[in-house]
């Protein structure tokens, strides 16, 4: 049947790329209809597990008496290392230093030693407290400094980055400053805690529903501890109630315990710790102590940097190697160091093994870079922004574009981005007004700071930079989309579905987004490193293009036209002079036995890394951003508020501007919380005392900036061939919160007329701010 040609509109489908599209589960989230792991209906006979944990920080385990545990009401049994049928190891890096349950020694307060399995969760939880454990206590070290003094080993091999001649540069320097900065850790505080639900199958089979960012690793670990091949284990994830990196490797323990118990008793088993145990038994963002030495000229230009980054890694390696590596990769932030020497010190400590957290070590490196800029500014009596701009990376024409790891910065937009924000935020006039205010007010002091971010995008473990997808088109024209990424509220599924909708030129509503499962896409990477959309979007694009190519070939042959005459647009397909619906074309293709399923794949090009040499191109590209924050500090109490924050952030050509803007807003608040109110505190016995929302303070809605303006750099487009020329958005804006930390520093410095750097440690709690004010008032 003949029809007029399809209208040539640029964007006529519903929900294509580069358009605002609300999160596909938004209504379910706010109405409570979104199903999470704990909402899965429990089959008859489901058992519940709960962890029994160590009550000392370090010691030999002489024996455990389970008699009262086993006699407790509802208890079915206890799991210990002896019940692990395969390997008693959960180390994600293969160093074999993280047992499911230890056999001889406990290495941190709260370490899981066994699990109780009972008919109800309450019965298991109560019974776990009844075990009598005989310890021989050993000395312990809780932080990097104590661990260094106690000659504790590294938990993994350290890294060194070096370029130029720092010895000569320091010897010839006009100015030189040495200092030390303590940077606190952070709890993930996801709304949904850890949980795993295992259902035994026939033979070796087991299905595990879990809230994990890394289904394939959970699959591998469960197979590893059960002593079965990975094909016997299926891991399913529909959605998470937040992750932020805390569910990348830390979920492995809970998946393993649930699976071991399920196979042992041949009954479904669920394990869900309460918030206290979740916080004490699982890892956090790494604390760092950074020793820095910086040489600079009288104009504020950096000549040399020497930095040592010691991290509280905890008792095992976990992901501390790549985390501490990335801290060094970002110790330059936006600044060119002509001569540089950076070293990591991943210290073993008698604390929970720290792990991935949004930014993955990068934020700690960026804070150190900003501290050195701040030191230079106060030493020379300059505006820190002036010093920042003087040290920005340049390009090949000026030779100021080589990083400490010898990667060239080829996509630098810092000068334009920062200049635009400086103008839009009226930074110069506001800073002068603040200087005037601080001269007149003795109690309320103000501060302002404009800080940049340059963040590398890619997994530094090169083999993780790959992704797969699976797309089915059913013969009624509906589409089934599956990919290896996991949805934790960030909108990944929405963006990937937009890519498929755009490629096939069909409405977003036509696409069914399904759970992530190891049955459909194998060997997936963690949804982490800000790479979810980059990797899985490209894999889905690859699958969609395969399907489109098959449909084009079929249509061209069936209608006797050239392939170029087959055009997909607005749920229709023009085939020469004929126009048919997408549904009709699919139905005809099905009748002609055209394969309507495709597996897509993508691997990131250009990247390579030689860790031993400290050289390579670990990042495909950089994402940039800048934030300008203004604060008011009560110098009598140390309390403060954020008066205004203006943000300009680079996401390339955004796949979904409204989702990306939400990511920037949330990341900024989370980064602000890390540097202001979120404080982890262990007592001398090694007990984490900030182990619940009652003792650990995350930012509230009332803590947000009174005026909060977030904009995307709409003129930016990724120079690399990423998915629709977009850029990653998960991690880079987290570091925009550093602008608040720097603004607080300026307010504190005002009490001594800006003559010295206050050297605030992070988090800059009201107590720390007050102590810094008093110290400066007393002359240091």
pLDDT tens figures, 407-435: 999 999 999 999 999 999 999 999 999 99
Residue corresponding to tokens 């930074």? 427
Mean pLDDT of 710-736: 97
> Residue 779 — very low, low, confident or very high, per pLDDT cuts 50/70/90?
confident
Res 780 pLDDT > 70: no
Query: Residue 250: which region, alpha, beta or left (left: phi > 0; alpha: psi -120 to 50)?
Result: alpha
Res 729 pLDDT > 60: yes
> Residue 396 — very low, low, confident or very high, per pLDDT cuts 50/70/90?
confident
Mean pLDDT of 101-105: 97
Give the closest residue to 597 by CA, choosing from 676, 690, 482, 675. 482
Residues 219, 198: contact at Cβ < 8 Å? no
Q: Which helix (H) or strand (E) holds 78?
A: strand 75-79
Mean pLDDT of 43-68: 98
Cα–Cα distance for residue pair 288/359, rounded to 1 Å:
14
Q: H helices within 487-581, ranges in order?
A: 492-504, 532-559
Mean pLDDT of 682-708: 97
pLDDT digits (tens, 9 = 90+) for 539-597: 999 999 999 999 999 999 999 999 999 999 999 999 999 999 999 999 999 999 999 99
Mean pLDDT of 503-508: 97
Cα–Cα distance for residue pair 778/542, rounded to 1 Å:
65
Cα–Cα distance for residue pair 58/56, rounded to 1 Å:
6
Q: Which helix (H) or strand (E) holds 471?
A: strand 466-473
Cα–Cα distance for residue pair 330/365, rounded to 1 Å:
5
Q: What's 423-453 look like in SS3? A: HHCCHHHHHHHHHHHHHHCCCEEEEEEEEEE
CA distances from 637 to 67, 634, 695, 707, 774 (A): 53, 6, 20, 23, 10
CA 356-361-362 angle, to 5 degrees, is 130
Percent of the chain residues past pLDDT 90, beyond the cut: 97
DSSP string of 665-708? HHHHHHHHHHHHT----B-TTS-BS--STTTS-PPPGGGS-SEE
Res 11 pLDDT > 60: no
Q: Which helix (H) or strand (E) holds 125?
A: helix 121-128
Which pLDDT does position 10 carry in this prediction? 45
Q: Would strands 572-575 and 196-200 be described as parallel, antiparallel, or unpaired?
A: unpaired
pLDDT digits (tens, 9 = 90+) for 587-620: 999 999 999 999 999 999 999 999 999 999 999 9
Which pLDDT does position 198 carry in this prediction? 98
Mean pLDDT of 742-763: 97
- Edge-to-edge order in the sheet of strand 640-649: 444-457, 621-634, 640-649, 707-712
Structure tokens at 673: 């919380």
Mean pLDDT of 342-361: 98
What is the number of residues in the chain?
Answer: 780
Catalytic center residues: 731
> Residue 4 — very low, low, confident or very high, per pLDDT cuts 50/70/90?
very low
> Residue 395 — very low, low, confident or very high, per pLDDT cuts 50/70/90?
confident
Mean pLDDT, all residues of the chain: 96
Question: 112 forms bridges with which residues in the sheet?
Answer: 53
Structure tokens at 313: 């890694």
Res 8 pLDDT > 80: no
3-state secondary structure of 533: helix
Cα–Cα distance for residue pair 211/194, rounded to 1 Å:
6
Which pLDDT does position 5 carry in this prediction? 52
CA 351-352-353 angle, to 5 degrees, is 110
Which pLDDT does position 12 carry in this prediction? 81
With a CB cutoff of 8 Å and minimum separation 6, the contacts of 251 are 194, 196, 210, 211, 212, 213, 214, 218
Instruction: Give Dmax (Cα) for the chain.
Output: 89
Res 441 pLDDT > 80: yes
Res 748 pLDDT > 70: yes
Which pLDDT does position 7 carry in this prediction? 47
Residues 61, 102: contact at Cβ < 8 Å? yes
Mean pLDDT of 686-712: 97
């Amino acid at each position: 049947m003949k029809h007029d040609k399809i209208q040539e509109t640029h964007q006529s489908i519903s929900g294509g790329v580069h358009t605002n599209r609300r999160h596909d589960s938004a209504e379910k989230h706010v109405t409570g209809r979104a199903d999470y792991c704990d909402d899965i209906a429990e089959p008859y006979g489901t058992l519940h597990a709960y962890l029994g944990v160590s009550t000392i920080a370090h010691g030999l385990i002489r024996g455990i008496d389970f008699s009262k545990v086993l006699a407790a009401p509802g208890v079915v049994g206890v799991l210990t290392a002896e019940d692990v049928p395969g390997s008693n190891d959960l180390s994600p890096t293969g160093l074999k230093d993280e047992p499911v349950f230890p056999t001889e020694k406990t290495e941190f307060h709260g370490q899981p030693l066994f699990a109780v399995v009972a008919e109800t969760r309450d019965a298991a939880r109560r019974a776990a407290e009844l075990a009598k454990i005989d310890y021989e206590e050993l000395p312990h070290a809780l932080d990097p400094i104590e661990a260094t003094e106690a000659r504790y080993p590294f938990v993994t091999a350290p890294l060194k980055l070096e370029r130029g001649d720092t010895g000569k540069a320091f010897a010839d320097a006009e100015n030189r400053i040495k200092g030390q900065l303590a940077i606190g850790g952070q709890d993930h505080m996801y709304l949904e805690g850890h949980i795993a639900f295992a259902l035994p199958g026939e033979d070796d089979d087991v299905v595990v529903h879990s809230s994990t960012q890394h289904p394939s690793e959970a699959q591998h670990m469960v197979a590893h501890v059960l002593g079965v091949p990975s094909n016997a284990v299926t891991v399913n994830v529909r959605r998470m109630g937040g992750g932020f990196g805390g569910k990348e490797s830390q979920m492995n323990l809970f998946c393993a315990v649930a699976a071991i118990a399920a196979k042992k008793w041949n009954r479904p088993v669920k394990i869900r710790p309460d918030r206290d145990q979740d916080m004490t038994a699982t890892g956090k963002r790494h604390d760092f102590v950074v020793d820095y030495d910086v040489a600079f000229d009288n104009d504020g230009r950096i000549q040399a940097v020497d930095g040592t980054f010691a991290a509280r890694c905890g008792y095992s390696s976990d992901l501390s190697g790549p985390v501490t590596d990335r801290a060094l990769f970002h110790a330059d932030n936006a600044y060119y160091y002509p001569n540089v020497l950076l070293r990591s010190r991943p210290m073993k400590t008698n604390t929970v093994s720290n792990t991935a957290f949004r930014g993955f070590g990068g934020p700690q490196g960026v804070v150190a870079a900003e501290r050195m800029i701040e030191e230079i500014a106060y030493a020379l009596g300059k505006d820190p922004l002036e010093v920042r701009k003087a040290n920005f990376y340049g390009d090949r024409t000026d030779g100021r574009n080589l990083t400490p790891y010898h990667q060239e910065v080829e996509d630098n937009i810092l000068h334009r981005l920062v200049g635009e924000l400086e103008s839009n935020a009226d930074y110069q006039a506001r800073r002068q007004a603040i200087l005037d205010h601080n001269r007149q007010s003795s109690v309320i002091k103000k501060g302002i700071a404009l800080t940049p971010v340059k963040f590398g995008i890619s997994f530094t473990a090169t083999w993780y930079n790959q992704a797969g997808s699976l797309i089915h088109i059913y013969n009624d024209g509906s589409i089934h989309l599956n990919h290896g990424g996991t949805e934790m509220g960030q909108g990944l599924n929405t963006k990937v579905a937009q890519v498929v909708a755009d490629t096939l030129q069909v409405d977003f509503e036509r696409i069914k987004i399904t759970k992530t499962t190891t049955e459909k896409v194998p060997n997936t990477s963690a949804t982490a490193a800000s790479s979810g959309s980059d990797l899985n979007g490209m894999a889905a694009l690859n699958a969609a293009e395969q399907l489109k190519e098959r449909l084009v070939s079929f249509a061209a042959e069936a209608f006797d036209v050239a392939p170029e005459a087959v055009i997909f647009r607005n749920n229709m397909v023009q085939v020469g002079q004929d126009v048919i619906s997408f549904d009709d074309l699919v139905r005809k293709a099905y009748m002609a036995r055209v394969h309507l399923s495709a597996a897509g794949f993508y691997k990131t090009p250009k990247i390579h890394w030689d860790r031993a040499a400290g050289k390579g191109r670990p990042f495909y590209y950089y994402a940039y951003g800048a934030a300008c924050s203004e604060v008011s500090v009560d110098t009598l109490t140390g309390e403060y508020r954020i008066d205004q924050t203006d943000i300009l952030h680079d996401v390339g050509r955004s796949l979904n501007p409204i989702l990306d803007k939400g990511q920037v807003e949330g990341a900024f608040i989370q980064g602000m919380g890390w540097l202001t109110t979120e404080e982890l505190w262990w007592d001398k016995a090694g007990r984490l005392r900030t182990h619940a929302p009652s003792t650990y303070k995350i930012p509230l809605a009332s803590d947000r900036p009174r005026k909060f303006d977030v904009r995307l750099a709409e003129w930016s487009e990724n120079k690399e061939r990423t998915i629709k020329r977009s850029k990653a958005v998960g991690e880079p804006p987290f570091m925009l919160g550093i602008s608040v930390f720097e603004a607080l520093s300026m307010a504190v410095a005002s009490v001594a007329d800006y003559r010295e750097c206050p050297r605030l440690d992070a988090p800059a709690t009201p107590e720390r701010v007050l102590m810094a004010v008093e110290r400066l008032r007393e002359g240091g």
